[in-house]
Amino acid sequence: MTEFKTIVGDTLRIRVALYTDETRSTPLPLAGKLLTFGAVDRNIDPTISIVKTIGDGITVVDAAQGSALILLGPGDTALVGASGGVLQYYLRVTEGVDVYTAGRGKIVIAQLVP
């Protein structure tokens, strides 16, 4: 699990590189695949939810090298409220009928003024 940190109301850019196996030796080509990023606050308010897909918050940087950029805007990180919070996230790859979870972890969003 990877943890990302940001501040309420800030932009968070998450760069990902996807591979075909755990050795990270062969990039996963992204052509013809769907990427879905989701984040939710399961502890405080499960209605706080962020979903990003290719063209809507996810940009494929290099399809052949399995590289993408996930962008959470100020409105996304502000969803947790002024006091901040922790979101649980996942990244899924869909190819035809097959779905693979490529990563998951948490995003810690701190308040602007402690």
Confidence (pTM):
0.91
Amino acid at position 107, single letter: I
- Give the bridge partners for 89, in sequence order: 39, 105
State the pLDDT at residue 41: 87
Are 105 and 1 spatial neighbours (Cβ–Cβ below 8 Å)?
yes
CATH code linked to domain 2-110: 2.60.40.10
Domain boundaries in the chain? Answer: 2-110
53-85 pLDDT, tens per residue?
999 999 999 999 999 999 999 999 998 888 899
Are 36 and 94 spatial neighbours (Cβ–Cβ below 8 Å)?
yes
- Give the bridge partners for 73, in sequence order: none
5-54 pLDDT, tens per residue?
999 999 999 999 999 988 889 999 999 999 999 999 877 777 778 999 99
